[in-house]
């Protein structure tokens, strides 16, 4: 009985840190819990941590997790979205399934250090959740990986064998991280033909099941691109929040509403480009007012910033994030 009470106390503590009450966790279905937590976060930070080449492991080793978490705590952000990797085929986390299919040795493309695990644990101590970014398709610049995972160009329909293998890769990460990861944001979901037929063995449902293998509350977004008529829609019933990729912080849930049941979310950058080490291009007042307006209309805002290899947020971006947080979290 004492052990049971102790476990309940721990559970309640986690619920308070993430802004979700115990009552909410008992009453809401898993995906609805995740969406509610995202909405209550108000705004979060997006980090492009990318690279490659012979020095990739050294770059990942240089990341100061504690310093990064301390910076995020100062901003008042409720979550972070971190890139696992992108088109170069280099990832900031180990994955034996990927290495098996892509034909690489341990540490050749997937880092030896498990950076997302360390970041998730450090952020959790600050009450901040972590979500992960992946492309919807195999790294397009790595022909060996493309062949090994049986993928084709991202504008063509995804082959069945690719979707099956990619789901296995994702499931390894999902099972390892469990509830330390709260969601996924998938880029480049341009051609959905290969996933739309749910009668085929590998489709949206098998892909989503892989994402939620470690955490049934994980929320998913699939990105069709920046076109305003697509960015705030759902590509599948498995989607929980809008991908919302835009090149400006301008649209709102009022100007471009999401379908019923889909959490409205926008993602754009503080500088002049993704991960740009310049700007901010908007004033503190504009950004704070924008985030407040979106929140009042039921939406949430993800803000892309520049982060160096050692985890240092570009100082002008950090300063503006702190200013936004102070106004939004009053």
> Mind listing the pLDDT tens digit for each residue in 148-173?
999 999 999 999 999 999 999 999 99
Residue 21 is predicted with a pLDDT of 44
Residue 10 is predicted with a pLDDT of 37
Task: Look up the pTM and report it.
Answer: 0.91
With a cut of 80, say whether residue 84 has pLDDT above it.
Answer: yes
With a cut of 90, say whether residue 17 has pLDDT above it.
Answer: no
Q: Model confidence at 5, in pLDDT bands (50, 70, 90)? A: very low
CB 156 within 8 A of CB 190: no
Residue 26 is predicted with a pLDDT of 57
Share of the chain above pLDDT 70, in %: 92
Residue 3 is predicted with a pLDDT of 40
* Chain segment 202-225, per-residue pLDDT in tens: 999 999 999 999 999 999 999 999
Question: Among residues 171, 169, 106, 173, which one has the least CA distance to residue 139?
Answer: 169
* Chain segment 101-147, per-residue pLDDT in tens: 999 999 999 999 999 999 999 999 999 999 999 999 999 999 999 99
With a cut of 50, say whether residue 23 has pLDDT above it.
Answer: no
CA distance 248 to 223: 16
* Chain segment 245-297, per-residue pLDDT in tens: 999 999 999 999 999 999 999 999 999 999 999 999 999 999 999 999 999 99
Residue 11 is predicted with a pLDDT of 35
Rounded to an integer, the average pLDDT of 43-72 is 98
* Chain segment 290-325, per-residue pLDDT in tens: 999 999 999 999 999 999 999 999 999 999 999 999
Q: Model confidence at 18, in pLDDT bands (50, 70, 90)? A: very low
Domain 29-328 grouped into CATH 3.20.20.80: yes
Residue 294 is predicted with a pLDDT of 98
């Amino acid at each position: 009985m004492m052990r049971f009470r102790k476990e309940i106390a721990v559970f309640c503590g986690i619920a308070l840190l993430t802004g979700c009450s115990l009552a909410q966790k008992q009453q809401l279905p898993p995906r609805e819990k995740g969406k509610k937590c995202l909405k209550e976060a108000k705004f979060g930070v997006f980090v492009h941590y990318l690279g490659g080449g012979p020095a990739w492991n050294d770059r990942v080793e240089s990341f100061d997790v504690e310093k990064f978490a301390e910076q995020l705590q100062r901003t008042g952000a409720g979550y972070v979205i971190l890139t696992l990797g992108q088109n170069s085929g280099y990832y900031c986390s180990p994955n034996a399934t990927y290495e098996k299919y892509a034909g690489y040795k341990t540490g050749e493309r997937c880092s030896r250090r498990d950076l997302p695990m360390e970041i998730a644990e450090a952020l959790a101590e600050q009450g901040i959740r972590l979500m992960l970014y992946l492309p919807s398709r195999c790294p397009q610049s790595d022909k060996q990986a493309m062949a090994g995972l049986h993928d084709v160009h991202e504008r063509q329909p995804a082959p069945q064998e690719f979707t099956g293998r990619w789901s296995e890769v994702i499931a390894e990460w999902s099972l390892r991280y469990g509830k330390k990861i709260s969601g996924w944001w998938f880029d480049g979901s341009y051609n959905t033909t290969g996933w739309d037929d749910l009668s085929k063995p590998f489709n949206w449902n098998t892909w989503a099941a892989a994402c939620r293998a470690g955490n049934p509350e994980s929320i998913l977004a699939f990105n069709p691109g920046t076109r305003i008529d697509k960015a705030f829609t759902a590509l599948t019933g498995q989607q929980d929040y809008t991908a919302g990729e835009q090149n400006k912080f301008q649209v709102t849930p009022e100007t471009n509403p999401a379908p019923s049941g889909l959490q409205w979310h926008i993602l754009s950058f503080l500088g002049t480009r993704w991960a740009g080490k310049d700007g901010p291009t908007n004033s503190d007042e504009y950004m704070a007012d924008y985030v407040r307006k979106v929140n009042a209309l039921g939406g949430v805002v993800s803000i892309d910033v520049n982060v160096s290899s050692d985890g240092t947020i570009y100082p002008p971006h950090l300063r503006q994030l702190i200013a936004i947080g102070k106004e939004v979290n009053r």
